[in-house]
Amino acid sequence: MHSPPTSRRVVITASVAAISMAALTSCASGTSSEATVDSITVWTGLPYDSFQKPNAANFERCEFETGITVELEDFPPADLTGKVLQAATSGDLPDLLYLEGTDLSRVAETGVLTDLAEYGISADGYSDILVEMGSYEDTLYGLAPGVNTIGMFYDKALFADSGVEIPTTFAELREVAHTLTTPDRMGVALSAGSGAGPYVFLPFLLSAGGDPSDLTAPEAAMTMSGSWLFNEADGLGIDLGVFPIPSPDGTTPPRSPIGAELWTIPVTDDAHQAAAADVLSCITSDENALIMAEESRRTPGDVSVGQEYAIAHPDEAPLTELIEGAYLRDPEVTGKQSEQIALAVQDALANGTDAADALAKAAGR
């Protein structure tokens, strides 16, 4: 069970002074800004080949450009933020940190992240929603060169062979799913687990005008997922397409939640922070951000880079177009919302409970 948001904030706030003092002590006892640093440590929470390999290649390119080598450490996503908060008290923070976007405020409020503006790094050109994600109390602490949002992925050849069109309304989506359903194939596959389930449910709720804060896999022709699915499809030889989640009547602009990790520079010492800033500027350059998007299939966070990427990958353009109006999840209530949505979806699927009743029941827990 997730603790109520207020309880979590009390615990974190109580530790802010101790963590901040440890970070400042570490900084004060560190190397002066005159020292030369030729190696930095980097922590990430995405231990997956689809990210690790292009990420390592990105740092190799920047090692050639900056002369700074990196020591990469990858941790399970659920462990990273806790490890960072522990490292802050011991003065053992990494030089560059790839932090889950919804955890930025938790870490930034302890005072262990540095203002990117101090190094001349800005979010100019990034979508407004990503500037908001990377900021805490109007200070920019993180950049998201690659992001994920949710669309409906479909088998293009199957659609063409069946003579069906891309649906734009809930009714059309049901009809297409029914048409494409066979004894061996589901028309549409949706996750109902407590992990990805709530995330992929949100586009339906948002497109119908709902508010997530007020909640009163076999073969399939369609499935809700993110851009990472293109990597899997490439390996299987499937010609995959994607379209925005339909709205009830087709007139409401599509809207999906956005997820991203943020590159941040923790408080260490002047020399290491400057070296980390040099590397960060390199790995998030337009050229390297585009290469990273090509290799990881993560949608670029920079608007102009995203436009260039969409031209080269028109099948992925619908995901790029969803970013500007995306829904930014509130980190204070994300865990509770996810649990409630998962309970409601499972109740509706397993017990046949009416959707509105399932949501109302879950919201009361």
Q: What secondary structure, in 3-state letters, does the chain show?
A: CCCCHHHHHHHHHHHHHHHHHHHHHHHHCCCCCCCCCCEEEEEECCCCHHHHHHHHHHHHHHHHHHCCEEEEEECCHHHHHHHHHHHHHHCCCCCEEEEEHHHHHHHHCCCCECCHHHHCCCCCCECHHHHHHCEECCEECCECCEEEECEEEEEHHHHHHHCCCCCCEHHHHHHHHHHHCECCEECCECCCCCCHHHHHHHHHHHHCCCCCCCCCCCCECEEEECCCHHHHHHHHCCCEEEECCCECCCCCCCCCEEEEEEEECECCCHHHHHHHHHHHHHHCCHHHHHHHHHHHCCEECEHHHHHHHHHHCHHHHHHHHHCCCCECCCCCCHHHHHHHHHHHHHHHHHHCCCHHHHHHHHHCC
Closest CA to 246 of 256, 236, 257: 256
* One-letter identity of residue 172: E
Residues 326 and 203 sit within 8 Å (Cβ to Cβ): no
Q: Who has greater pLDDT, 193 or 42?
A: 42
The token pair at 264 is 């941040």
Q: Pairing between strand 222-225 and 151-155?
A: antiparallel
Band of the pLDDT at 249, cuts 50, 70, 90? confident
Higher-confidence residue of 357 and 154: namely 154
Q: What is the pTM of this model?
A: 0.79
Confidence of residue 3 (pLDDT cuts 50, 70, 90): very low
Q: Tokens 């930025």 appear where? A: 104
Q: What is the pLDDT of residue 333?
A: 52
Q: What is the mean pLDDT of residues 43-56?
A: 89
**Cα–Cα nearest to 42, from 264, 284, 296, 261:** 264
Q: pLDDT confidence of 226, banded at 50, 70, 90?
A: confident
Q: What is the pLDDT of residue 166?
A: 95
pLDDT at residue 198, as a whole number: 53
Helix axes 334-351, 196-207, angle to 10 degrees: 90
The whole-number pLDDT of residue 338 equals 66
Looking at residue 71, its pLDDT comes to 96
Burial class from Cβ neighbours inside 10 Å (0-12, 13-18, 19+) for residue 38 reads: exposed
Query: Tokens 């390297």 identify what position?
Result: 288
Structure tokens belonging to residue 8: 């979590």
The overall average pLDDT reported for the chain is: 81
The residue ranking higher by pLDDT, 328 or 33, is 328
Asked if residues 245 and 151 have their Cβ atoms less than 8 Å apart, the reply is: yes
Strands 139-140, 258-264: pairing kind: unpaired
How would residue 343 be classed by pLDDT, with cut points 50, 70 and 90?
confident
Distance CA 136, CA 111 (A): 11
Query: How far is 141 from 121, CA to CA, in rounded Å?
Result: 10
Dihedral sign of CA atoms 153, 156, 160, 165 in order? positive
Indicate the pLDDT class of residue 136, thresholds 50, 70 and 90. Answer: very high
**Token match 């053992």: residue?**
92
Task: Classify residue 138 by burial, with Cβ atoms within 10 Å: 0-12, 13-18, 19+.
Answer: exposed
Torsion of CA 273, 274, 275, 276, to 10 degrees: 50
